[in-house]
């Protein structure tokens, strides 16, 4: 418990921001205090502090700005992308700020709040049948870009993805742990941009830090050892045979992305630990209810793996766990199963403990 003898004060950020995009990154790394961590110290990097609420804000701004720098994206040109949500929300923010129309393709199995958020930010959301999985929404985005001459953001193949994690996410970890012990970094993968970007920097500058990668227990694409079929542009040509639908939205599409392949080919991870969706949901609930840290299912899953790492790690180990987004994005998903709208028996009892303003 910290000493609590006077009111908290703050000093401002010491600058005025010229636009919302300049607020991306520099997310806080926060220590876990109440949840038992088996003799380790666990920190989480809370990506919900990004302006559109997830780690994908970083990728979104860099995809657009790298394309502006190269001339691949022309002023006013429409941007199109297949995304399960966070990339779409990030792109919608960036495109709104910079004045590009955005079209997102998305399987209808993803949470409805994500669609509405993107539409709120001015994007068009084109739903694709869930039976066609991630591959179907990807094919739709490619087809639309070819048919209309739109700029395809290509988060699963573009160099702009891992580059921004190398230039920002990894640099923040290096700076915040400067002079401090860091034994493990734990992350999952969607595109693989986070792990590939972190791997480039940590392998060179903090080789003693072990990188732990995780994937859903029922969709162990890397764990299966089965290579991904690709075409000459590095894009997948078929759904991966080890894929099964899983509840960890934003993780593990039904193919091994080219961006992730870099981490596999360069051995950017020291261990691969699968996690069941139910354990990830419990991890997110524990973070919310015992630490006051609100994250999504992928953050809860990464945290559950960090706890597993802590169980076998040497006493006193320091572990950093990536939390990609906020739990608020999951109101209509299994994360909120058991979180009731109506009063339960204990709440009714509290209500009845005084005679005022009672429900019928
Ligand atoms: N969790 C969530 C909720 C995500 O949206 C994503 C990105 N799709 C990830 C994790 C994985 O990040 P990356 O794409 O960098 O591997």
Average pLDDT, the chain: 95
**Predicted local distance difference test score (pLDDT) of residue 1:** 53
Q: Whose alpha carbon is nearest atom 6 of ligand 1?
A: 250
What token pair was written down for 327?
Answer: 């739990």
Q: Is the pLDDT of residue 4 over 80?
A: yes
Ligand 1 within 6 A of CB of 197: no
CATH match of 20-52+168-336 with 3.40.50.1100 = yes
What token pair was written down for 160?
Answer: 């702009």
Pocket perturbation via mutation, ligand 1, pick of 134, 169, 191, 212 by most ligand atoms within 8 A of CB: 191
**Predicted local distance difference test score (pLDDT) of residue 136:** 87
Q: Whose alpha carbon is nearest atom 10 of ligand 1?
A: 250
Residues 222-234 have a mean pLDDT of 92
**Predicted local distance difference test score (pLDDT) of residue 315:** 97
Q: Is the pLDDT of residue 114 over 90?
A: no
**SS3 of 191, please?**
coil
Query: Considering only the top CATH level, what class is 56-152?
Result: alpha beta
**Predicted local distance difference test score (pLDDT) of residue 233:** 83
Q: Is the pLDDT of residue 2 over 90?
A: no
Residues 279-293 have a mean pLDDT of 98
**Predicted local distance difference test score (pLDDT) of residue 3:** 75
In the chain, CATH 3.40.50.1100 covers 20-52+168-336, 56-152
Residue 84 binned pLDDT confidence (cut-offs 50, 70, 90) = confident
Ligand 1 within 6 A of CB of 250: yes
Alpha helices (H) in the chain, listed in sequence order? 56-70, 86-98, 112-120, 133-148, 159-164, 170-176, 193-205, 258-265, 277-286, 297-312, 345-352
Cα(189) to centroid(ligand 1), Å: 6
- pTM confidence score: 0.95
* Active site amino acids: 56, 298
Q: Is the pLDDT of residue 344 over 60?
A: yes
């Amino acid at each position: 418990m910290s000493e609590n003898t006077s009111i908290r004060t703050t000093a401002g950020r010491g600058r005025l921001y010229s636009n919302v995009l300049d607020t991306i990154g520099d997310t806080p790394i926060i220590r876990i205090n109440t949840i038992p961590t088996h003799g380790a110290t666990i920190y989480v990097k809370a990506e919900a502090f990004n302006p559109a609420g997830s780690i994908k804000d970083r990728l979104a701004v860099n995809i657009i700005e790298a394309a502006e720098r190269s001339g691949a994206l022309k002023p006013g040109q429409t941007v199109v992308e297949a995304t399960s949500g966070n990339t779409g929300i990030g792109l919608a923010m960036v495109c709104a700020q910079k004045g590009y129309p955005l079209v997102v393709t998305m399987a209808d199995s993803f949470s409805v709040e994500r669609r509405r958020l993107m539409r709120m930010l001015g994007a068009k959301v084109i739903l694709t049948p869930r039976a066609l999985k991630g591959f179907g929404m990807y094919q739709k985005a490619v087809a639309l870009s070819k048919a209309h001459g739109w700029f395809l953001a290509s988060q699963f193949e573009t160099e702009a993805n891992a580059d921004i994690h190398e230039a920002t996410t990894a640099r923040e970890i290096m700076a915040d742990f400067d002079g401090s012990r860091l034994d493990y970094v734990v992350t999952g993968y969607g595109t693989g941009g986070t792990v590939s970007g972190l791997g480039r920097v940590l392998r060179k500058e903090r080789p003693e830090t072990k990188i732990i990668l995780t994937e859903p227990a029922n969709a162990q694409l890397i764990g299966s050892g089965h290579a991904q079929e690709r075409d000459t542009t590095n894009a997948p040509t078929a759904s991966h045979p080890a894929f099964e639908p899983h509840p960890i939205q934003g993780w593990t599409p039904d193919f091994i992305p080219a961006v992730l392949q870099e981490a596999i080919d360069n051995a950017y991870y020291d261990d691969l630990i699968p996690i069941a969706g139910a354990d990830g949901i419990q991890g997110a609930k524990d973070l919310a209810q015992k630490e006051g840290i609100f994250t999504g299912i992928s953050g809860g899953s990464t945290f559950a793996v960090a706890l597993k790492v802590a169980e076998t790690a040497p006493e006193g180990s320091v572990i950093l766990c990536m939390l990609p987004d906020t739990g608020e994005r999951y109101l209509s998903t299994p994360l909120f199963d058991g979180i009731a709208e109506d009063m339960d028996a204990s709440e009714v009892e509290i209500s009845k403990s005084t005679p005022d303003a009672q429900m019928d």
